[in-house]
Amino acid sequence: MAQLSYRDAVAAGIAQEMRRDERVVLFGEDTAAAGGVFKTTVGLFEEFGPRRVKDTPISELAILGAAMGAAMTGLRPVAEIMFSDFLACCWDYVANEIAKTRYMSDGQITLPLVIRTANGAGSRFGAQHSQSVENWAMAIPGIKVVAPSSPADAKGLLASAIRDPDPVLFFEHKSLLANKGEVPDGEHVEPLGKARVLRTGADATIIALAAMVPRAEKAADALAAEGIKATVIDVRSLVPLDAKTILVESARTGRVFTVEENPRLCGWGAEIASIVQEEIFSSLKGPIIRITTPHVPLPSADQLEDAVIPTVARIVAEVKRGLGR
């Protein structure tokens, strides 16, 4: 196995798919010659050339519109929206066009495309370049929503997203880009819609996504030192959602905690809390507790940003409070 950074794993995933499928094309702002502003597409322009790896103008409507038109006519486009916050500029394409056209056309049109975007806080970029917007996307029927937490998943889930016959919104987390981890050699593909149980413990079930996953794991380490054994689940894919794994692991402990970077209202954990209470209410030993960013725009100063995004200390404190310890 090779040690790869999360950002290199993204490029490796795209390269793997471009090598096996001539229909895969990649484009976005600064994506080609510059290798991406987050350096997640380094080397691809050099390997695949300007026909398959293209720079676009700052035209988010044209980027997603072109991806859609290309996807419905035989290509497998991978379009990059530089920051997930900018999805608001082209939300029509996500919410009205890409997500709904298969349904409205009674299945005549299929849209195998991927929208990659840099999501999340940690870079001190302030309220318009730091948001976690995965919960916007999961509110729209017709688009899959994936957010990897590790280099192996960045490669494997992205490969799956590119092969998927449906549109996928793929969130790459800015604060994870430099993280290194083992990535399997050779072709690596991880199926969409499968949560990963990272560890099991009998006292609490902590459910996390993307950058909150390593924090949940560290919190579980700290809790273990105090004699509290926690299960940690990496959701990985919000749509399709692996509700089965979440329900099984929630029932096992009866104490459920979600760790969400998105702001409070209608965050992804609210849907999970709803499913859990509706389907395994009798297994619960206490209320489901959501640990989220509060319902405020994100501040820029490092001290302020750190104060609002869920931290290891806050996860530990909330779990202990929930367990009455």
Partner 1 sequence: MSVTRQAHPAQGAAELPEATRLRLFQLQVEIRHTEKRAYDLFLQNLVKGTSHLALGQEAVAAGFAAAMNKDDYTFCTYRGHHHTLARGASMQAVLGELMGRQCGLMKGKGGSMHLTSVAHGVMGSYAIVGAHLPIAAGAAWSAQYRGTKQVAVAFFGDGATNIGAFHEALNLAAVWKLPVIFCCENNMYMEYTPISAVTAVKHPAADRAGSYGLPRQVIDGNDADIVYSTARDAIAKARSGGGPSLIECLTYRHSGHSRADPAKYRPKEELEEWMKRDPVALYRGRLLAAGIAEAALAKIEAESMARLDQATEAAKASPTPALESAMTDVWADGGNAWRN
- Cβ contact 33:178 at 8 Å: no
Look-up: residue for tokens 């079930």? Answer: 205
| Other beta carbons within 10 Å of 291 | 24
| Other beta carbons within 10 Å of 81 | 24
CB closer to partner 1, 75 vs 323: 75
Give CA torsion, residues 246, 208, 90, 34, to 10 deg: -130
> Under 8 Å CB-to-CB from 73, ≥6 apart: which residues?
none
Distance (Å, rounded) from C-alpha 13 to C-alpha 234? 20
Nearest distance, CB of residue 66 and partner 1, angstroms: 4
| Other beta carbons within 10 Å of 124 | 16
Residue 156 burial by Cβ neighbours in a 10 Å radius (0-12, 13-18, 19+): buried
Bond prior to 240 in cis (omega within 30° of 0)? yes
Distance (Å, rounded) from C-alpha 173 to C-alpha 80? 14
CB closer to partner 1, 221 vs 271: 271
Nearest distance, CB of residue 190 and partner 1, angstroms: 16
* One-letter identity of residue 72: M
C-alpha torsion sign, points 177, 180, 186, 188: negative
Q: Would you state the structure tokens that stand for residue 289, as one six-digit string?
A: 């507790």
Residues that bind partner 1 (CB under 8 A): 25, 51, 54, 56-57, 59, 61-62, 64-75, 77, 92-93, 96-97, 101-110, 112, 141-142, 165-166, 193, 239-244, 275
Nearest distance, CB of residue 7 and partner 1, angstroms: 27
- Residue 129 annotated as catalytic: yes
Nearest distance, CB of residue 61 and partner 1, angstroms: 5
CB closer to partner 1, 70 vs 176: 70
CB closer to partner 1, 37 vs 62: 62
CB closer to partner 1, 47 vs 92: 92
Of the residues 129, 173, 188, 295, only one is catalytic, namely 129
Nearest distance, CB of residue 51 and partner 1, angstroms: 7
Nearest distance, CB of residue 257 and partner 1, angstroms: 20
CB closer to partner 1, 99 vs 228: 99
Distance (Å, rounded) from C-alpha 285 to C-alpha 289? 12
Active site residues: 129
